[in-house]
Amino acid sequence: MNKYRNKKVEIDGIKFDSKHEGEYYLYLKKLKDEGKIKDFGLQQRFELQPSFKKDGKTHRAITYTVDFAIYHWNGEVEYIDVKGMETQQGVMRKKMFDYKYKEKLTWIQKSIKYGDEYGWIEYEELKKKRKAAKKAV
């Protein structure tokens, strides 16, 4: 278990950082088997800022590794990150990704209350629904 209380799981010999990440992998396998998506990949890394030297010190590159890449039949690629919670570092990296790359990066979360039939919902949509539910009380 890590600092965010995620429990690592192994499915099909692949290690996932959280139970929900593993569940999303199984969900994508189902979509592929049903022909709803062409294919999917795991753990693609993007460079957000290259490494550089300043004042004799080398600074490492800033990277973002997405959990899944979904390859749609129309040729589009969608990148998915399964989130349990939002962090300041995550928000900053997503903003850098969105600035540098034209591809779509979607944060999703599992929510039985607000998600689709499988519990999946885009993180921004979940925040809106939770805010609306709070206001209604």
- Asked whether the beta carbons of 108 and 121 are under 8 A apart, the reply is yes
Q: Nearest-5° angle of CA 73, CA 112, CA 69?
A: 25
**Strand ordering across the sheet containing 77-82:** 39-49, 62-71, 77-82, 104-110, 120-122
Question: Across the chain, which distance is largest between two alpha carbons, in Å?
Answer: 57
pLDDT in tens, 40-83: 999 999 999 999 999 999 999 999 999 999 999 999 999 999 98
DSSP states along 36-55 = SSSEEEEEEEEEEE--EEET
pLDDT of residue 4: 56
User: Over 70: is that where the pLDDT of 2 sits?
Assistant: no
Q: Nearest-5° angle of CA 21, CA 111, CA 75?
A: 55
Whether the predicted model's global pTM rises above the 0.85 cut: no
